[in-house]
Structure 1
């Protein structure tokens, strides 16, 4: 193992044990918050008291005894009796059931509607997003109190049904929150990496999108619960709830009717509502602090460069592993369609390394993403031919593409730290594609992942397997991505600037690793790069791109010896390998050599 490889195994400063302990698990952070602990205890007591009301009092919440009207606290009525002789404690305990159940119904209905709608609209966008957003805006525009009153008039005084309608009213708020969270994360590079691994949409949403959505959704749920308890109490206070049942709102109604006779009747239901709502509000704030105190989000996707149109297509071989003819990629803009790849043709044979070379903005990455079927929704691609191992890729649906990606066609991105999900351990992200494509058991996938980590030059595979992305270095992260790319034994590997973010020594090691793996597995390899040194070191054939078109295709030795196109010659002339050494610096005053100072 080289010195730089050993440096990689030490990870980054964030990987120190102290840092890991300081971050901690969200539940641990929550339990270290004194306010949160007090809120949890109070809420647990309120729920337990309501659930076990028959064990705490033998009195009935609805049986009235006129002889006990306005009975003071003590004797047979611990908290006294109301105007018709009903036990206040029993009504308080049993009333908690109604109020808490009503809040629970409202929150569950809101989540059952808002979360799936937000996930689908935020992930797939397009017309579905437009329609669901329009419906949500329409519901939010309607006055909530008017909707509730109309529903009560139509359904009748049924508290649970009314709270279900309240859930419908609250659902658009959940939808907007979830949709915003999904939209913010769906363009992350690690989500693209999951798509390239061939994972299905359902698995990507479950493993990579939901962890981001769940924290704000839990926080909002606690807030909605408090709001629902207040609204439920208000409905009961107005006498619009279920008749004959005990509830905190009904107790307030009774207390206000006898405000001048016995004002102390306001105390019990008022405190119950205030304590419950305040507890839920403070708990929501504590949950926010605990759940959102995580490492910063992964770097956002950088805009992919566009190129001007041009055309110089080349022929494709019939025996090729990958054949691309006349590929065009366009984007819809305000000024019309913008073509960023125009007429690109290339082939890759089994066991061949093809370098896709050009300046930034020449369309290299756009070509790779078009082949992978990973263009963003606003991008559109078309080709005269786009086939892999004789299979036409142009008409494949999402499911068929996922069956190829990660399994037979793999991808290595250029920003390793942004392509690993910070919420999951390295081992989880390596084993998921293997279990999906190769149908391995958890144990088999783990053993293969450890073997791959060792094969790509990681000295402590067990430690890295259990580490989070922030606990390893950039060089190790790139090795992890390479291990993941070859984990399902692909026939074609597309490496998009795999060494850009690495230092020179680690670049050489990663290139050696790619070459060794490619030769061992006889893979076809497309190496997207702008570095001719890398091309000379690893490529068999070179495709040079400029402003979205192929300007020259030739074997690597021939291209370096006899470049035909002026653009290729310009790129080769821009390298510094044959440049004369720089003259020593001279002082302006004397013109003599600049002396070093200590």
Structure 2
């Protein structure tokens, strides 16, 4: 088996959801129990030792024996045989209720949440009315009309439970319908039916599965209760609930008779819930989740330069490496990163997609994806090593000391609440002593701070009612709610037009002057870097390959990757000329070259570049580069790109 450095075995396909379920002992045990119970019920005519109605008056209320493995009841009927035949009636009732609730609740919830408008209002009104109907009373009415008809009772139970089902599905659909891929599907001309089935339903499958599993257990309990009360299928036809009722009459003579049906019912209800939970988790993550060790605090690692964290810096990263689980095993996505940000400073983090920029920001906040971990290094903020803090301490630090502005502001806002309510929740989280009026005033102040006109009106709007620029400003206002000292801005201007970009950058500069906060700007836009950043780090394939002041990096790049990125930036004085492009693509984590990671795309690469990893060098004071041929990068003469790049911002 071939392996890649730091990633584990390669060439292995991701496991399918059912394979993930079968790797969980609790799920396997629960699923196995349900399969055995169903198989026993279906195969009862073949394998039941006795006829379920056959009586043996010579062995009444007998305990377990070789002839009757689970004993006999009040008429000498075999308990095991009645349990097997009783499963046919009880499990059929559960299936009837589950099919009914899915057939009604899921379509109503999907249509209400996705289409909205008058249909949403109509369905929501019907759901509200239906939820007020007492379920037990309606079941009794139906049984009074149809007699002891289990099918009618269980279908009625499914109908009465479907409004609650529809409400859950609607809420999950509302959270999905505004995502960008749904909008893209609409723009592409896909019909609503296809969008709902292909794009919406798979995303809301988790809540549906969990709700279905819980309802199945409740339906079994309801069916057993009706049989216990004598309102279900009538004797001598066996049912699990009916057996409990018969056992309760003679509990003082033979307590054992209550154990078999009671245990079967209890374990079935528990198994339904556990299987639903396992299937939900497997459906939510269709890629392999390898056995990843629990994240642990690690000792400070020594980076390439062996430097200690800067005492004057607000934030210092030293030797930071981030590891994430993949289908082929753990993969390092950021390796040996050193980075410093001084108080009140703006630092840029530049590179193509897949270079590890966003993952660096998430590592600082301790918000890595599930299974990810900071494998080596230190993250020191205000002389506090964040890698030694527990979860509570990190939660207290997020928002109050370090905040994040996402590259997708609308996706970071809850679609079912007005933005004012969401900001108010943040304000109350940071200061629980504020009265309601003060919270509302603070929300309006935050919206006014980010230059949003009519803050009171904006606070009443929902995220889908905001333009891209307004949503970005709301996201910045949310980040400022805790008065942070460091703001991590992840591609804050990517999806905005040039005019709005300039407004957002002016806003960040003004807020920085007024609050003194530092900014880590994650971007691929050199124009933004030239406009606002004092120093810049360039990342490639998980490593920092160059670091210096922004002005020096534009005028004297000392890494071919940096020079290639700068040359590929559109410039007003080069209209009509073809932009040069860097050949190739960024290699995936786990497939990085052994030597210089940029060597396969580099015009200056030699055999020396691929022989061993390249460490940071400092050819000039304060200018670091990870290139053996940095002297050749600028042979064509100094370049003054700063002004032209700033002009494109």
TM-score category of the 2 structures, normalised to the smaller one: 0.5 to 0.7
Q: Aligned to 2:406, which of 410, 413, 431? A: 413
3-state SS, counterpart of residue 499 of structure 1: coil
**2:566 matched residue in structure 1:** 572
**2:369 matched residue in structure 1:** 376
Structure 2: which 5+ runs fail to align? Answer: 1-114, 148-152, 181-203, 231-241, 250-284, 287-302, 579-649
**1:493 matched residue in structure 2:** 487
**2:528 matched residue in structure 1:** 534
Structure 1 pair 313/338, CA: closer, same or farther in 2 (3 Å)?
A: farther
3-state SS, counterpart of residue 384 of structure 1: strand
Structure 1 pair 562/239, CA: closer, same or farther in 2 (3 Å)?
A: closer
CA contact (8 A) 2:336 2:377 kept: no
Deviations 1:448-476, CA, capped at 9 Å, x for gaps: 11111122122232222122211212211
1:396-411 aligned at under 5 Å gives the runs 396-411=389-404
**2:452 matched residue in structure 1:** 458
Counterpart check, 1:446 vs 2:540: no
Instruction: Report the Cα distance in structure 2 between the residues aligned to 1:49 and 1:365, rounded to whole angstroms.
Output: 60
3-state SS, counterpart of residue 371 of structure 1: helix
How many pairs does the alignment contain? 361
Counterpart check, 1:361 vs 2:354: yes
CA RMSD of aligned residues (A): 4.4
Instruction: Report the Cα distance in structure 2 between the residues aligned to 1:420 and 1:22, rounded to whole angstroms.
Output: 24
Structure 1: which 5+ runs fail to align? Answer: 1-18, 51-87, 93-98, 112-173, 190-210, 246-299, 302-310, 585-598
CA contact (8 A) 1:324 1:383 kept: no
Q: Aligned to 1:436, which of 411, 429, 433? A: 429
1:291-310 aligned at under 5 Å gives the runs none
CA contact (8 A) 1:343 1:549 kept: yes
Counterpart check, 1:472 vs 2:477: no
**1:427 matched residue in structure 2:** 420
Instruction: Report the Cα distance in structure 1 between the residues aligned to 2:410 and 2:205, rounded to whole angstroms.
Output: 17
CA contact (8 A) 2:444 2:455 kept: yes
Instruction: Report the Cα distance in structure 2 between the residues aligned to 1:349 and 1:319, rounded to whole angstroms.
Output: 7
Instruction: Report the Cα distance in structure 1 between the residues aligned to 2:406 and 2:428, rounded to whole angstroms.
Output: 21
Q: Aligned to 1:513, which of 493, 507, 512? A: 507
**1:22 matched residue in structure 2:** 118
Instruction: Report the Cα distance in structure 1 between the residues aligned to 2:374 and 2:525, rounded to whole angstroms.
Output: 27
Deviations 1:174-209, CA, capped at 9 Å, x for gaps: 9xx99xx89x99xx99xxxxxxxxxxxxxxxxxxxx
CA contact (8 A) 2:424 2:443 kept: yes
Counterpart check, 1:553 vs 2:547: yes
Structure 1 pair 39/505, CA: closer, same or farther in 2 (3 Å)?
A: closer
CA contact (8 A) 1:313 1:550 kept: no
3-state SS, counterpart of residue 428 of structure 1: helix
Instruction: Report the Cα distance in structure 2 between the residues aligned to 1:243 and 1:342, rounded to whole angstroms.
Output: 67
Instruction: Report the Cα distance in structure 1 between the residues aligned to 2:216 and 2:465, rounded to whole angstroms.
Output: 34
3-state SS, counterpart of residue 411 of structure 2: helix
Deviations 1:33-84, CA, capped at 9 Å, x for gaps: 7xx858966858648999xxxxxxxxxxxxxxxxxxxxxxxxxxxxxxxxxx
Counterpart check, 1:241 vs 2:235: no
Instruction: Report the Cα distance in structure 1 between the residues aligned to 2:131 and 2:545, rounded to whole angstroms.
Output: 68
Deviations 1:62-107, CA, capped at 9 Å, x for gaps: xxxxxxxxxxxxxxxxxxxxxxxxxx99xx9xxxxxx99xx9xxx9
Instruction: Report the Cα distance in structure 1 between the residues aligned to 2:494 and 2:425, rounded to whole angstroms.
Output: 26
Structure 1 pair 22/565, CA: closer, same or farther in 2 (3 Å)?
A: same
Q: Aligned to 1:325, which of 290, 309, 318? A: 318
- How many angstroms does 1:516 deviate by? 1.0
Structure 1 pair 347/223, CA: closer, same or farther in 2 (3 Å)?
A: same
Structure 1 pair 459/213, CA: closer, same or farther in 2 (3 Å)?
A: farther
Counterpart check, 1:31 vs 2:133: no
Structure 1 pair 37/429, CA: closer, same or farther in 2 (3 Å)?
A: closer
Q: TM-score, normalised by structure 1?
A: 0.53
Counterpart check, 1:394 vs 2:398: no
CA contact (8 A) 1:408 1:490 kept: yes
Deviations 1:500-522, CA, capped at 9 Å, x for gaps: 11122111111111111111100
Instruction: Report the Cα distance in structure 1 between the residues aligned to 2:557 and 2:359, rounded to whole angstroms.
Output: 25
- How many angstroms does 1:383 deviate by? 3.9
3-state SS, counterpart of residue 507 of structure 1: helix
Structure 1 pair 361/397, CA: closer, same or farther in 2 (3 Å)?
A: same
**2:184 matched residue in structure 1:** none
- How many angstroms does 1:393 deviate by? 0.3
Instruction: Report the Cα distance in structure 1 between the residues aligned to 2:205 and 2:459, rounded to whole angstroms.
Output: 22
Instruction: Report the Cα distance in structure 2 between the residues aligned to 1:38 and 1:502, rounded to whole angstroms.
Output: 45
Structure 1 pair 471/314, CA: closer, same or farther in 2 (3 Å)?
A: farther
Instruction: Report the Cα distance in structure 2 between the residues aligned to 1:325 and 1:39, rounded to whole angstroms.
Output: 57
CA contact (8 A) 2:536 2:549 kept: yes
Structure 1 pair 559/32, CA: closer, same or farther in 2 (3 Å)?
A: same
3-state SS, counterpart of residue 394 of structure 1: helix
- How many angstroms does 1:385 deviate by? 2.5
Range that drifts further, 339-348 or 432-441: 432-441
Instruction: Report the Cα distance in structure 1 between the residues aligned to 2:446 and 2:343, rounded to whole angstroms.
Output: 22
Instruction: Report the Cα distance in structure 2 between the residues aligned to 1:212 and 1:408, rounded to whole angstroms.
Output: 37
Counterpart check, 1:484 vs 2:478: yes
Instruction: Report the Cα distance in structure 2 between the residues aligned to 1:422 and 1:314, rounded to whole angstroms.
Output: 47
Q: TM-score, normalised by structure 2?
A: 0.49
3-state SS, counterpart of residue 388 of structure 2: coil
Structure 1 pair 448/38, CA: closer, same or farther in 2 (3 Å)?
A: closer
3-state SS, counterpart of residue 501 of structure 2: helix
- How many angstroms does 1:240 deviate by? 3.7
Deviations 1:541-585, CA, capped at 9 Å, x for gaps: 11111111111111112221222222211111111216522189x
1:230-269 aligned at under 5 Å gives the runs 230-237=223-230, 238=242, 240-241=244-245
Structure 1 pair 48/477, CA: closer, same or farther in 2 (3 Å)?
A: farther
Instruction: Report the Cα distance in structure 2 between the residues aligned to 1:583 and 1:493, rounded to whole angstroms.
Output: 38
Structure 1 pair 217/445, CA: closer, same or farther in 2 (3 Å)?
A: farther
Instruction: Report the Cα distance in structure 1 between the residues aligned to 2:577 and 2:485, rounded to whole angstroms.
Output: 49
CA contact (8 A) 2:418 2:461 kept: yes
